[in-house]
Amino acid sequence: MEKERMQLEEITSVHAMLDFLWGLDVKKHLHVLTFWWLWWSNQNKLREGELPLEANEVARRTRSYVIEYLQIFTQTKDKQQPDKWRTPETTTCKINVDGSFIPGQDYAGWGIVVRTAEGSLICARAGRENHIGDAFAAEAIAMSHAISLASDLGLVRVELETDSQLLAEALDLRKA
């Protein structure tokens, strides 16, 4: 997006800027608009005497909000049946993880289910975490609890599953 940032710096009229913005692909103009909205919100916080978000938090929220928006509003070709639990591929246990967040609340819920390769329940946990600011943080907290639970149970080979695309991408170390 550095190329687009440099091109935006060259534009001097609002109309030309909007024409340029709408000419970008959907994902890029969502990133730009979301970033501008978060930046504007940050400036308002600063003006009101509140502590603004740090730059890395603005960037993280921008990515998170864009992925969430695309998941909600991108149309699928066919309405898919809900996913059913699938056995783990090469491990002995599978841990399903989920976080729950309601915008405007200062807390989030989380849940974890641990099953054997045959589908038998080993353990399940759920809880509430305070001071959570967004859905990604709720999913990350849930994953943290899942990893701790796996350690407590002495599980060595596990498959972790989450419905959070952003968290799954963030934890995919094979991409590096």
Q: What is the pLDDT of residues 62-121, one digit of tens each?
A: 988 888 888 878 766 555 555 666 777 766 788 999 999 888 888 899 999 999 888 888
**Which of 19, 39, 73 is the C-terminal boundary of a domain?**
73
pLDDT digits (tens, 9 = 90+) for 38-60: 989 889 888 889 888 888 888 88
Residue 108, domain CATH: 3.30.420.10
Q: Tell me, yes or no, whether 79 lies in a domain.
A: no
In a domain, 88, yes or no: no
Total of domains in the chain: 2
Together in a domain, 125 and 53: no
Range of the domain at 36: 2-73
- Residue 14 falls within a domain, yes or no? yes
Strand ranges (DSSP E) for the chain? 93-101, 107-116, 121-130, 158-162
Q: State the amino acid at position 114 in one-letter form.
A: V
Q: Calculate mean pLDDT across residues 2-21.
A: 83
